[in-house]
Amino acid sequence: MTRHTIGSTANIKCEKRARRGERPILPIRSQPVSPTVLTVFGTRPEAIKAAPLIRGIEASDNLRSRTLVTAQHREMLDQVNDLFGVEPDFDLNIMAAGQTLNGIASRVIGELDAVLAEAAPDAVLVQGDTTTVMGAAIAAFNRGIPVIHLEAGLRSGNIASPFPEEANRKLTSQVSSLHLAPTSRSRDNLLAEGIDPADVAVTGNTVIDALHLAVAMKVTPAEPKVADYVATDRPKLLVTTHRRENLGSAMESIGDALAELAAARPELLILLPAHRNPLVREAVLPRVAEFNNVLVTEPLSYGEFTTVMAASDVVLTDSGGIQEEAPSLGKPVLVMRENTERPEAVTAGSVALVGTDRSAIVAEVSRLFDDARGYESMARAVNPYGDGRAAVRSVAAIEALLGVGERIDEFTPERSPWHSAQKQ
């Protein structure tokens, strides 16, 4: 992309006057105008993973950063932005009660289009696979603005699971000019779909960069029982669940499994930050209400959550991002899903798929607390997702795309020195 300059017209006039033998007017010195990257995000996970890259773009001498939030998750989004010092330039505040996925997509595309017309960015950066991501990518593509997709190439292989994320990320890939793939497997997924290898950069995942930053802050949980959970020496299980495809009988089965674990292992502390979705709460909370060793809390801030995760022994989740974060802290992860778009950790041995069957969940959690060798093999597995430098590689790839820099070496997994330090 051509770099824009200020004062080029004045320089041309100077040259014409000189050719006519006239005294030249002192030209206005040309100053390069750095390409502008507009980062668009709307949910807490997007904010977490975008924050290190936003900071990296802001620190670049060759790029200009602007940010826009759709506020698909209002409160949790604002908490993350405050933690990382991100101040959005634009806020669409699109959410309304009872809004459908199509309603969200319609508002994102329509309202973002007006911003694109006004701000005229040189590229639009999106992260992940939400409806905000898909809508923003379509809006930018329709205006001929290059789309940069952070965390590109994740695939579960099932268009309906996770829903609608699998469809969103595949659609976004088709209109993106630069694919920032977290792993070589993600890159291979893109190449298998016909994406040009020159348009893909393997960077590692920026969630590891964000985790490094947040853990270093050592945020103390505000709620006393959560602070006590962090401080205690009792065995600790951290649980998160919210997946749309797990709603209904699968979520009830998860609640039953937690109740069985609490009853069978009274020494075990189970911390459950409850998702705000009432369908999650109605399925799980009544099943664990009688147990004193199940600590139910409101959703934690990201800073609090990283502190809690670092203090836990095992993580039981259906989240995507936690599959990437917890291995960096040496925490075995059991995933309550039938498949995952993050198979690298399963291959590495830091993550195991357990599904939502009550007996399977109870058996696998119990195994990790009873089998020291099995626990250690998962806790010490290589983290395939990043080394804390994903944002640096991503900035270099963006600069190369926009003609103001060059790429640097890509990410390759290794046993992280930072991980080793955390284990000591």
Question: Measured between alpha carbons, how far is 234 from 404 in angstroms, rounded to an integer?
Answer: 53
**Run of H or E residues at 295:** strand 294-297
Predicted local distance difference test score (pLDDT) of residue 383: 86
**Whose CA is closest to 14, among 22, 4, 5, 2?**
22
Q: Is 164 helix (H, G, I), strand (E, B) or coil?
A: coil
Name the CATH topology of 220-379. Rossmann fold (3.40.50)
CA distance 208 to 324: 7
CB atoms within 10 A of CB 65: 21
Closest Cα partner for 391 from 106, 48, 88?
48
The tens-digit pLDDT sequence of the chain (424 residues) is 333 322 333 333 334 444 555 554 444 445 568 999 999 999 989 999 999 999 999 999 999 999 999 987 787 889 999 999 999 999 999 988 888 999 999 999 999 999 999 999 999 999 999 999 999 999 999 999 999 999 999 999 999 988 999 999 999 999 999 999 999 999 999 999 999 999 999 999 999 999 999 999 999 999 999 999 999 999 999 999 887 777 889 889 989 999 999 999 999 999 999 988 888 888 899 999 999 999 999 999 999 999 999 999 999 998 888 998 999 899 999 999 988 888 999 999 999 999 999 999 999 999 999 999 999 999 999 889 999 999 999 999 999 999 999 999 999 986 544 444 454 4
Cα distance between residue 145 and residue 279, in whole Å: 39
ω into 266 cis (within 30 of 0): no
pLDDT at position 25 = 47
| pLDDT value of residue 21 | 57
Q: How far apart are CA 333 and CA 238, in angstroms?
A: 10
**pLDDT number for residue 96:** 85
pLDDT at 277: 83
Distance of alpha carbon 177 from the chain centroid: 20
Q: Angle 87-92-97 (CA atoms, 0-180°, nearest 5)?
A: 120
Q: List, in sequence order, every residue forming a beta bridge with 353; answer none if it has no partner.
A: 335
> Of 245, 242, 208, nearest to 318 (Cα)?
242
φ/ψ of residue 314, rounded to 5:
-140, 145
Q: 37: helix, coil or strand?
A: strand
DSSP 28: P
* Cross-strand bridge partners of residue 67: 39
Catalytic residues: 129, 151, 165, 242, 244, 275
Q: Which two tokens stand for residue 105?
A: 């997509």
Q: Are the beta carbons of 41 and 71 closer than 8 angstroms?
A: no
Query: How many angstroms separate the Cα of 389 from the Cα of each of 45, 124, 200, 209, 375?
Result: 18, 21, 17, 6, 28
User: Cα–Cα distance between 48 and 71 in angstroms, integer?
Assistant: 14
Are 411 and 204 spatial neighbours (Cβ–Cβ below 8 Å)? yes
Q: What is the pLDDT of residue 11?
A: 39
Pairing of the two strands 269-273 and 31-33: unpaired
Domain boundaries, the chain: 1-31, 34-205+387-415, 220-379
Residue 194 amino acid letter: G
pTM: 0.82
220-379 shares the fold of 34-205+387-415: yes
Q: Alpha-carbon distance 354 to 253, whole Å?
A: 12
Cβ distance 72 to 92 under 8 Å?
no
Tell me the C-alpha distance between 315 and 272, whole Å: 11
Quick one: fold of 34-205+387-415?
Answer: Rossmann fold (3.40.50)
Give the pLDDT score at 27.
45
Q: Where are the beta strands (DSSP E) in 46-198?
A: 64-69, 90-91, 123-127, 147-150, 178-181
The residue behind tokens 């006590």 is: 228
Identify the pLDDT of residue 33.
85
Nearest to 47 by CA among 152, 108, 126: 126
Amino acid at 101: L
